[in-house]
Amino acid sequence: MNTPARTSWDKVEFYTSYFLMFVLASVIGTRLSFATVWELPTLDLVLSIIAMVLVLASFWIARRRRSWRLWIIAFATATQLIPMVLRHPATLFPLLGGLIPVVIMVWALFALSRKGSNSPRVRGS
């Protein structure tokens, strides 16, 4: 049984994941457009093209499956970050610093998406 609170948090997750896919598509698209100006390593170019195709296709193929959207977001993010960190390990420190608010946001979204599933509803809040 879907409660109104459950449905509203499902919408929050839905729109948040679509916003993340839109941001990933714009970042990857910008990186690919700069590949015409500066040489991009072949592995990065191939991974970026695959990630771009998956992100663009996910607007259609993953529109009903939360797990697919999250896996595509994770894959696209990893294809952009891992080659950069392997080539320049010093970039790991700012990424770890930026990871703290991202982890807090993901934890909050996960907790809010679970809100109301097993806990009793509180009136007036």
Structure tokens at 89: 């390990």
Asked if residues 43 and 83 have their Cβ atoms less than 8 Å apart, the reply is: yes
Q: What is the pTM of this model?
A: 0.68
> Which has the minimum average pLDDT: 17-21, 63-67, 77-81, 87-91?
63-67
In which band, very low, low, confident or very high, does the pLDDT at 90 lie, cut at 50, 70 and 90? Answer: very high
Handedness of CA 34, 36, 39, 43 (dihedral sign): positive
Residue 63 DSSP label: S
pLDDT tens-digit map of 7-45 = 666 777 778 888 888 999 999 999 999 988 998 899 999
pLDDT at 33: 94
